[in-house]
Structure 1
Amino acid sequence: MTTSGLDVVGRTREVPVSWRLGVTGGCYLGYLGLLAPLWAALGPGTAVLAVLPVVVAGITLGAVPGAVVALLAYFGGAVTLMLAGHAGAAILVTPEGIPMLVGLVAVGLVVGRLRDLGQRMEQDREGLQLIFENTSIGVGRYQADGRLEQGNPALLTLLDEDAGMLGSGLRAMARDSRRRVHREIRYTRRDGSEAWVAVGVVKAHGSGEGAHSIATVENITVRKVQEAALEHMALHDPLTGLPNRTLLGDRLRQALLTAQRDRESLSLLIMDIDRFKEINDTLGHHIGDLLLQETANRLRECLRDSDTVARLGGDEFAVILPAAGEGRTVERMAAKLVDALAQPFVIEATELRVDLSIGAAMYPAHGDDVSTLTRLADIAMYEAKRSGTGFAVYSADAGAGLPLRLALASQMPAAMDKDQLVLHFQPKAAIGSGRPVAIEALVRWEHPSLGLLPPDRFIPLAEETGQIKPLARWVLQRAIAECARWRAAGWDLPVAVNLSGRNLHDAGLPRLIDELLRRHELPGRMLQLEITETTLMTDPEVAMHLLESMIEMGVSVAIDDFGIGYSSLAHLRRLPVGELKIDKSFVSEMTTDPSSGVIVRSTCDLGHNLGLVVLAEGVEDRETWELLREHGVDLAQGYFVSRPLPGPALMEWLSNFKQKPVVVSAS
């Protein structure tokens, strides 16, 4: 049998091995049994210099001089016998069993094989050197004591930029006794910036003079920045940059643990911006977003470094006040926040005034966990909004009424759909003649289980929950339809409807009113809109815009509850109003408190000087009626004229008035 070269075969119990000498011939060596321990120890890429005794069929040929000095190299599956020299001759046996001298013949050919192997190794070395020098990952060889022996350009660049922390970290890892060490290191560069690297260190030799480590250093700064950005996004509000609800909960838990450990108190404030929805609906979400950003800035400026302010969503914010669990301390902080937001905001040339409603709950007085404090602070906030005080600390009384308030708020839309809401009507009468000159529409709720609810039980809820807009539209539709029925019955009496501040931000309201008046064939003068003094002065520019459009339709406007707000005479003179209603708190005390009489007279004079009709609310007896006549008041409204009446009862009252046109008490 002839092959392209001489195959020399050796077998052990564990490892079958073949050698290829690259010489022509078909001679085989039987078994090299003495090499069994050597093959078991060899691994891929290992080279061993050995003196091989010549063996034929397992029997040493002592008569054959010398042995072959050979380099055994094992390359993953085949072992090549590379003859480096010889001391005598190697005797191999042909398949027919004939001994053959081959040692001298093999020498030249093996040298050629070694030359080819060297060229390939040189090519591999050059390739590895290119990778070493050009890779973006730093690679370095460290001695056992931590000194850098050799580093590629990427590593040297990182170390050159380092202010010292990276170098010391790498040296420490190189001295580590463990075989493999992996770590992420954050360090400061010479220019002051922060950077991150991922470092892996592997021991190349276990111990001794040649012991060293190979370190790889990868710059992961970009990845870390991206991870930090993602974490920040997950825990912060993107609009204001404030912590979000998740981060607030985590910080509140930590603050509670600290307070428990140090035996201190803390407070949680929850607040929202009154009438924020009106701003969004009227001026747009862009202005609303800018207002929220400015609000966040003002809240931050009011707080200590140890405090946390967060945005919970929408217009709702929260503040954690560590070591502040006393009522006075919390009240002072709340007042500071309210005052900060009371200053006008100028958003893209638009001046806005906003108010805060703040609720507070305290540890340990009210609760000792996140969910309890959050829930109770929220209850207190709604109590502050309901009472109009702007700030409230949680109390059990406020909490007891919350379930009912929430139930009413959720039932209100259905109440409008199911006609559970009804209108009652109260006449306005001329003091000179006693004749009715207009009728005010007042909404009531015929609740299926709670009975007839007055407006103060659900109007504030409608304001808080944003349902005041559909409620006002419902009232306008019913009131204008009722006014058309009065007119058809011969009573040319305008109907007055109350509007809230939120309604002034309803851009579609003028169009609705125009459609309703046309549908019922009523002129604009048959509708009067009553707006409180405080509502008008809160946002006079918005009020002016809406009211001017109403005036163009012939609709008249009255200022309600005058005297208890903060009117500016300059604004009052500019507003297109035709009637001024003196608040009943002054009118009802005229007969017992002389100062109230002075206020009423002064207000009447002011109104007349501005060219307005003056009406007194809360007139309940003839004595008050006569005093108002003396002061020159034009109109009166109250129980002395008539209590609020359902539609059919009003028609009956009007019919009786025709027969007896004098003012009498309806009680």
Structure 2
Amino acid sequence: MTDRSNPHHNATDRQLRLLVGLVVFVASIPIGASAYAIASGRSHDTSILVVIGLIAAVIASNRAKVNVRLRSNKWGQSWTDIVVLVGLTIAPPPWVVLCTVVGVAIGRLLARVSPIKIAFGAAKDTVWASVGAGVLYAYGADFRGGAPEFHAAALVLAFIALTVVDELIANPVIALGTRTPLRQFFLRYLDIRVGFGAARLVVAVFVVWLLSVNRDAQLLLVAPLLILTLHLWYSGRIRKRDERISWQRLATSAEALNDVDLGRVLEVAVKWAPELFSADGAEVELFDGDPPRLVRGTGGKIDTNNDDTRRTDAFVITTVLEGRADKRPVGEFRLHFRGAVTLNEMENYKLRTFASALNTAIHNASAYSELQRVAVVHAHDAAHDALTGLANRRQLLDEGQKKIAQGHADGVIALLLLDLNHFKEVNDTLGHAAGDDVLKQVADRLKAAARDGDLVSRLGGDEFAVLLTGLPAPAVAAHRAERLVAALREPIEVEGMRISVEASGGIATAPSSGGIAELLRRADVAMYQAKRSGGRIATYSHARDTADIGRFAITGSMSSAVADGTLTVDFQPIVDLVSGEVRAAEALARWHHPDHGTVDPLRFLETVERSGLLPAFAEAVLDQALLACVSWREAGFDLPVAVNVAPRSLLDPRFPGSVMTRLRTHDLPPDRLILELTETLTISQLEVVDQVLGRLRDEGVRLALDDFGTGYSSLSVLSRIPVHELKIDSQFVTAMETSPEAGAVIRSTVDLGRSLDLAVVAEGVDSEPQRRALWELGCAAGQGQLFARPMSAARLLVSLHRGSGGRPGTLAPALHDEGAVIRLSPHRRAAPRQRGERLPHLGG
């Protein structure tokens, strides 16, 4: 179909008509001259003229067709020059010219070509005949007696003249009609045309020679047979060349379609398709999207405007593009032609192949585009806070490290760390939805108050950070921080109420070493200084960062403490509350630093867990604890030893093997080791934790749940972790005398232990009234300063030998004289769990 509104097509059609008209005008001159000559001269043998005319007609209607376009009406290669050359040897030129005109016109009519092609073909061949006659006349041929007498050289010159005229007249017209560059069209099939021209010349010379030997006009009937042979040869060569070129272009176009950009895929399709299928235009329309996507290609030009105005061409071939999974149409690929087109089987196959390649390319590009979109979303989500849209901690660390690495060429870099005061009250009073609204409004105010180049981020909870860049001097950082905090002074309206938001902030400038992590730590130190002092903003001061100095000293010395013996283990006994007998001892790590003295366990344990020293530390503590257990056992006191387990150790599948290796090394039964787990850190649902604990229990190692009652999911922990005993946190023991709630927690814990057949141990027993109250609540064992402070293994052994009241193995007098109290089981013992056999309670 032709786009009638396309000015390029209209201009081409006008040029084509003018050029054909010019050829017809030139041909009319020899036609008129020939008619005049015949009218004024004598007649010629009509049988020869009829033969010439019929041959010209047959050749014109059965010419070899060059597959320039996929049309039923095609520009082709004519064979009339042979007839013209032969005719000029047996008939006067005027008759040859007129016979050529009439024969070609009849042949074109029989071939049902368009009028413009009939006119062009007849005019072109007429010019041939006239040029051929002119060459022969110039060579010295004499037409006055009828047929001229001449040599083969004259025939060769005439043929060359005909070929040159054909190239000069036909090539521009056909190139313009097919909208092909003239140079490209001229070079197309040049080698085949040269070879075919030589063959035509041989046929013409042979026929002329045959007639010269035996002047019988009937011998002209040999010409169609020879021409048919050449026709088959020429058609086969052209067809093979066309098919090879077509398949090469199809492969090249399929490769060009292999692009990850959907826009380029569509543009390549509409650019290659018209040339590949000799169409006037092509378009691809995708139904998905809003609006649907439409790309058109016409005359080498691409139109990507989503204009749904339909073309008005005469003929369209449409191929549906289907989805991969549900075969639902996702678009259409259309070829536009100016005239009706019938595709043969091979052309249909090529069209399906191209459409399939296009469909695959569209799906691949769409999939890649979706992957890119998802990657962008994921990258954004990974670097931004989901609630406020601000940068998160990860982006702050990345961007901050880049800025610090670039140096201070663009100015000083500083970090403001902000923490909202009393934000928990907003969540507790108004709910988390209102708290989220407050956080979003705070984020918006900080973004509005920040300058270009500053990075506002939310680190989590109610903590925000602003990375300040391009500062002219460090002193400007505090001024900028004051402006940011001032943006939060105005009350925030939440659910119809106006809430005042206060914040404490710490400001620190980038250090010379340590990078963004050290900058963040310093800002955090300054922020807590502001909170302690009650101010809004505090600037980091190295002199006041005593915690930092101690932390680095501890970190640097911990690695040697494990090896040089300054890391020791003390033991606090676990005592039966009724009899005062020692039932076990808990190992407590101690570190006597040569410069800082005895270091608080909380400080160095945190350092150990954050560093890579945890495995070596755990092994050292476990070895000392088991050695102490062996020494007590050899002295006649077979006491289990309890060792605390760091949460990270439970994430190591190799941990159970390491424990069992040390038990075998010290020749101790597994039930002599109790591993204490912190409840708040063992509620993780990680499968590896369950596997580690299950293997330890299966090996016979006893498990205790420390600080019971302070965690968040105590019952769910007990249903999943196979422990043997519960340890009541000391805060409940301390508060039980004044708080009925604390006593209720202890009572419920004891009842729970009885129901699950678990031992219950109370921590922090510091007075005799606490001991009696715990006993009355049903608790069997306890540990605390009432019985003994933590001591070395040797001192504990001495205390066991000395005993209380002359009773070895005791640390406190019995609550009742022997035999004064009969202890009855308050309930039937529960059946043991599936994993292993339940060991007896501590304390009977």
TM-score, normalised relative to structure 1: 0.49
Structure (1 or 2) with the greater strand fraction: 1
Whose Rg is larger? 2
TM-score, normalised relative to structure 2: 0.40
